[in-house]
Amino acid sequence: MTLKDEVESQLLKRLKPKEEPLLGRHYSLPHKGIAFIYQRQSSYEQKVQHIWSQKEQDDLVILAQRDGYPDELIYVEKRDLGISGRKTDKGRPGLAYLILLVKEDKVESLWVVEVSRIYRDLDYVNADELALLLREHKVIVCTPRRKYNLTNQDDWEDFHDEMADVVKDTRYRTEKFSRTRMAKARCGLWCGTPVPAGYIVKKGDRDSYDIIESYQPHAFVIDKIFDAYIAVGRSSKEAARTLIGVEFPFFPEELKHMATRTSLRRSPKTATGYTIIPSLIHSIVSNPFYIGWWSYGGELISKHHHEVFIEESNFYQACKLPMAEGKRRGKAINFERLPLDGLLWDANHEVERRIAAHSAAGRYICDYDYQQGLSDHICLSINHRFLDTPIIGEVFRALKASRLLLEFKDDVVESLREEVTQSKLQERRLRADIRDLQQRIETYKWQLGETRDPQRVETYWEQIRSSQEQISLKERQLSEVQKEELNKEDVISVIKFLEHFRDGWDKQSYGLQNQFLRQLLDKIVVRHNHAEIAVTIYWHTGMQQELWIKRPRVNSGRDKNWTAEEGILLKELWPSMSKEIIMAALLGRSWMSISLKAHRLGLTRIKVRDIISDKWRPWTPEEDEELVSSYGVGVPLEEIAKKLGRTKDAVECRASLKKIRRPTAMRFKAKEVEWEDLDERLGRLEPQKFIDDKSECRGR
């Protein structure tokens, strides 16, 4: 043996290999479900800078593979990287997806580097709810150190103890950092809060971002926002529309740290900067930071803290605008869902966008860009009957042609009955949660009376406030459940309706029609322009129907400009010729259009009274009574004129003077709208027609 071999042999004996982690020793997994690998970092900085912590989370894939999981059963969730563990599933899409899969019994094991990656809430409520859910669905929690089978009492207690340690550590860190940040804030230094637009933080003497100063490229935009808001008068949406094309430019390379510190970081982005939206405008014009105020934790520290580039008069005027009118109040009334609510999607965008159903107005509207101030016009606004009648008509024809209703009948009834049961269960759960939170508040109040520790008192008050907020949230959820809840009478009504569905359709409420259509259809995609609408109906069965709707023409008047010849003819006829002669000479013109043109030209007619004064007579009270009783109920104009011995013009003039109105159906002429089924599987049909009111078909 050489000297080298001898020395290496001794060195190898000194090495003591570490024991293999306990992973896999206690529980052998069947490897039939998903191995859900959940990754989370608390902030964007941690995601970028803590590369070894991220590598440890990436290595969970290797551990799952060693345990025996094939690649197709390993799912890596990274959407929560950079999101705080204090947020619930509503603020963490990755956690929400985990909970969804667990409830569907698709997850067999949950893999995390440590339990704190799941939750870091201060009161342990959310973490405990998730633990109970994992236990109910028999999900094994795996870390590099060990596995937790939550159905085993020992593992359940160990898991609880570890989560309790996480809560204690989180509370300690919260109290510690809160005191540190308040100390920095009182010294006038930046303490980690989002930096308002128009300002930046730069490095102080140490390697930290402490000093706040104005940033001219953004300050210029802030000035424009205040000017626009004051000019339009309190409307953030109108101000955003006037600022289309104006944006906050991105920070240069030397200020790249501001990308995660500015309050603009959550605003929509373009290729060159941050977009100005109504919510951003509202937060800017009401923020006293722009007049030099400096506050933290609800405490006003200074009114002259930093450089101000906004005139105080502009700020106070912008703040006064919403105060002057007070809080706007809406109608205290509930409307049922429209028949196609939740099914319509607009394909006139790069990504399909859901079309909102405005029940109160009775319209389907796609106006997201308009509401956000990104466009100066509404994409689509159309009366609901204009889409409901042809689309629902085609659905019925498909049901009749393919006898699908017979196949769907039992499924629809069972689904509605199940929905009734689920609504009741959800209502009971929400009520139980509210009772638990109320009991927790009482416990915290009792503990307040038993302690004199200021820190504990503050902690208990925080828990009380948090519980009260959760109660408010759950009460809102409860009201929504009760509002949308079906009852047994609804199910019975549906059963009767399915037996004679076409005859009884119009007798059903819009809400019940919507429930029925949702059972059959997946979505309805529309593509539209000013003249026509192309509709594609997607069924749950995979079947598709295509429909073409010709939109009724809107009388915009753009192609009815008056010609010079028509103007000359009107000047010759208007003074003395009768209405019938004038309208016959100017074909295609309404009497209102002719009268308006004559008024603009300064023309006057010779009064009939001056020509045939012996034939004119005043209206008697008896004639007025007859006019009210006949004209208002829709008696033909010719009959009224004949009965009163007057001309039709005289009757119309007197009715206008007395403000007597004809029935709505007579005042507005119905328009025919053509529609045609283009689905090849059902065959090409002859054009169908339905009647709609012209005043309600002015979709844009």
Question: For residue 271, what is the domain's CATH number?
Answer: 3.90.1750.20
pLDDT reading at 237 higher than 50? yes
Most confidently modeled range among 247-261, 322-336, 582-596, 679-693 = 247-261
Q: Which residue has the higher pLDDT, 685 or 140?
A: 140
| Reduced 3-state DSSP string for 435-499 | HHHHHHHHHHHHHHHHCCCHHHHHHHHHHHHHHHHHHHHHHHHHHHHHHHCCCHHHHHHHHHHHH
Give yes or no: residues 376 and 502 share one domain. Answer: yes
Report the distance separating Cα 87 and Cα 496, nearest Å: 47
User: What are the residues whose beta carbons fall under 8 Å from the beta carbon of 38, sequence distance 6 or more?
Assistant: 77, 80, 94, 95, 98, 110, 111, 112, 117, 118
Q: Domain range for residue 472?
A: 344-550
Q: Provide the pLDDT confidence category of residue 470 given band limits of 50, 70 and 90.
A: confident
Position 55 in a domain: yes
If asked whether residues 80 and 151 sit together in one domain, one would say yes
In our burial notation (b when 16+ CB lie closer than 10 A, e otherwise), range 123-160 reads bbbbbbebbeebbebebbbbbeebbbbbebeebbeebb
pLDDT at 135 exceeding the cut of 80: yes
| pLDDT, greater one: 283 or 164 | 283
Beta bridge partners of 692: 671
pLDDT at 491: 57
How many domains are there within the chain? Answer: 4
Predicted pLDDT of residue 696: 35
Query: Of 67 and 478, which is predicted with more confidence?
Result: 67
pLDDT in tens, 538-585: 988 888 888 888 876 554 444 456 777 888 888 888 888 888 788 878
Cβ pair 344, 387 in contact under 8 A: yes
Last residue of a domain, one of 292, 325, 358: 325
Same domain? For 442 and 579 the reply is no
Q: Which residue, among 80, 105, 82, has the nearest Cα to 90 in the 3D structure?
A: 80
pLDDT band of 612, cuts 50, 70, 90:
very low
Report, as an integer, the average pLDDT of 509-525.
86
pTM exceeds 0.75 for this model: no
DSSP-assigned letter for residue 610 = H
Asked whether residue 102 falls in the same domain as residue 157, the answer is yes
- The span from the CA of 342 to the CA of 524, in Å, is 9
pLDDT at 130 over 90: no
The confidence score (pLDDT) of residue 251 equals 92
**18 located within any domain:** no
H-run or E-run covering 39:
none
Q: Do 147 and 262 share a domain, yes or no? A: no
Do 405 and 489 fall into the same domain?
yes
- Convert the pLDDT of each residue in 384-430 to its tens digit: 888 888 888 888 888 776 655 555 555 666 666 666 667 777 787 88
pLDDT confidence of residue 591: 82
440 lies in some domain: yes
Gap between the Cα atoms of 226 and 308, Å rounded: 14
On whether residue 337 sits in a domain, the answer given is: no
570 and 623 share one domain: yes
For residues 526 and 631, state if they share a domain.
no
The mean of the pLDDT values for the chain is 77
Please report the pLDDT score of residue 616 as a whole number.
62
